[in-house]
Structure 1
Amino acid sequence: MNSVTTATTNRGRPGYAREDVIRIAVDQFNTHGYEATSMGALATTLGVSKSAIYHHITSKEEILVEATDQALEALFDVIEEADATPGTAEDRLAAVISGATRVLCEKPENVTLLLRLRGNTEVEKQILERRRLITRRFIDFVASAQEEGAVRSTLDAGMVARLTFGMINSLVEWYRPDGPISPEELSEIMPDFVFRGLAAR
């Protein structure tokens, strides 16, 4: 499913694990912008030489691919699980909404990076195409629920899907895992909240 080549070797160096380098890099990308963050700037943040980073990572693009893959693969898993959900089209749409909410709560930094990409490089364009595929699949779930009568047929399925995804994506701006609502609780609340506004009349 992924057309972008991702390095999976765990080249290591004492002091930082590869996962730590990626996590800190993602934080820098989100703070300063992907294009504005150089490998030299990342080395300074880590307190190591630039050459030391290459014991962990081959390029900035590799970090971008691996970090966004974590969000994308989790969302594709949600789509597959929803497809396999027994019951009605409404049940499957609710499963997508619930699952996407959980992913946003559990991987906010990765999703933030994914949402801020603009397609300025070939690697970014490939990542964005995968993101658009998820949106198209979400539209399909909405359309099926409309055919069933669970969602108002007078609404455009694409608009409904994008508005709903926009609401879920906004979680990266305010949700805190250490707050009063757990990811599990919020993932149960969100489908009910959405359907109150989309219920057929």
Structure 2
Amino acid sequence: MPHSSTAPRRGRPGYDRQTLLTVCVDVFNRHGYEATSMGMLAQHLGISKSAIYHHVESKEAILEQALDDALDALEASLDGVMADFAGPGEQVEAAVRGTLRVLVEKMPEVTLLLRLRGNSAVELAAMERRRAITRRLGEMIAAAQEAGAVRGDITPRNLARLALGMINSIVDWYRPESDSPGHKSVTEMVDAVTRVVLGGLRG
């Protein structure tokens, strides 16, 4: 990512906090969080390590902020679904659509979240929040099963896992900025994936 052509002085970064975090998350995703050192981040940013510490206290603090950004958005999306849709079937569809949109909007952060191994307290806490999201979707699916809107031959938790597995896969193949032939817009992609996921949920 471009930065000021004037080399930043030591301790006075040429980045605002959000831009610095964005670059760091990109480096984590390309090289792996564990394999990325503060020195590597400084090299990619074109600033000194002390300049990074002007904004963040540690590599783990960068990870925690990125994971919070992804999880906060996913949780807020489900909160909105619960507030705005009364019918169980409508809630499940809205949850699928909302989750897909968050994955597009927060793709670097969600990609990082999906690659966690649970090697630290920060990672374990994020993984527990992710499991709670799965449980919430499972509860929506259970209500939809009772209403006859979703198939009943698979447990709600397993249906939630299967649905989220398909939804989460978009981080591996969908690129919102792509201009390749046949590339779908975000709206087209959300509609297409939602139809496939709901087809599986409804049997």
TM superposition score normalised by structure 1: 0.88
- More divergent stretch after superposition (79-88 vs 22-31): 79-88
Query: How far does residue 197 in structure 1 lie from its aligned partner after superposition?
Result: 2.5
Answering whether residue 76 of structure 2 is matched by residue 84 of structure 1, we say no
- Residue in 2 that maps onto 1:42: 41
Could you say if the C-alpha distance between residues 191 and 23 of structure 1 is closer, same or farther in structure 2, counting changes exceeding 3 Å? same
- Residue in 2 that maps onto 1:110: 109
User: Within 2, Cα distance between the matches of 1:17 and 1:166?
Assistant: 34
Per-residue Cα deviation, 1:153-179 (whole angstroms, up to 9, x for no partner): 111211111111011101001111124
- Equivalent positions of 1:85-100 (< 5 A) are 85-100=84-99
- Residue in 1 that maps onto 2:196: 193
User: Within 2, Cα distance between the matches of 1:19 and 1:119?
Assistant: 25
- Residue in 2 that maps onto 1:144: 143
Task: Return 5+ residue gaps in structure 2 as ranges.
Answer: 1-10
Query: How far does residue 186 in structure 1 lie from its aligned partner after superposition?
Result: 2.6
Q: Which amino acid aligns with 2:135?
A: R
User: Within 2, Cα distance between the matches of 1:14 and 1:28?
Assistant: 18
Query: How far does residue 14 in structure 1 lie from its aligned partner after superposition?
Result: 4.5
- Residue in 2 that maps onto 1:157: 156
User: Within 2, Cα distance between the matches of 1:32 and 1:40?
Assistant: 13
- Residue in 2 that maps onto 1:134: 133
User: Within 2, Cα distance between the matches of 1:97 and 1:188?
Assistant: 10
User: Within 2, Cα distance between the matches of 1:194 and 1:124?
Assistant: 28
Q: Which amino acid aligns with 1:167?
A: M
Task: Return 5+ residue gaps in structure 1 as ranges.
Answer: 1-11
User: Within 2, Cα distance between the matches of 1:199 and 1:168?
Assistant: 16
- Residue in 2 that maps onto 1:3: none
Q: Which amino acid aligns with 2:20?
A: V
Query: How far does residue 77 in structure 1 lie from its aligned partner after superposition?
Result: 0.9
Find the residue that maps to 2:84 and give its secondary structure: coil
Q: Which amino acid aligns with 2:156?
A: A
User: Within 2, Cα distance between the matches of 1:197 and 1:123?
Assistant: 34
User: Within 1, Cα distance between the matches of 2:115 and 2:85?
Assistant: 35
Query: How far does residue 181 in structure 1 lie from its aligned partner after superposition?
Result: 2.3
Indicate if the aligned counterparts of 1:104 and 1:172 stay in contact, CA closer than 8 A.
yes
TM superposition score normalised by structure 2: 0.87
> Cα RMSD (Å) of the superposition?
1.6
User: Within 2, Cα distance between the matches of 1:62 and 1:185?
Assistant: 36
Q: Which amino acid aligns with 1:177?
A: P
User: Within 1, Cα distance between the matches of 2:58 and 2:149?
Assistant: 47
Could you say if the C-alpha distance between residues 57 and 185 of structure 1 is closer, same or farther in structure 2, counting changes exceeding 3 Å? same
User: Within 1, Cα distance between the matches of 2:202 and 2:51?
Assistant: 56
Q: Which amino acid aligns with 2:18?
A: E
Higher relative contact order (CA 8 A, sep 6+): 1
User: Within 2, Cα distance between the matches of 1:47 and 1:170?
Assistant: 33
Per-residue Cα deviation, 1:15-64 (whole angstroms, up to 9, x for no partner): 21211211111111111111111111111221222111111111111111
Indicate if the aligned counterparts of 2:163 and 2:197 stay in contact, CA closer than 8 A.
yes
- Residue in 2 that maps onto 1:4: none
- More divergent stretch after superposition (83-92 vs 185-194): 185-194
Structure 1's consecutive aligned runs of 4 or more residues displaced over 4 angstroms after TM superposition are none
Query: How far does residue 100 in structure 1 lie from its aligned partner after superposition?
Result: 0.3
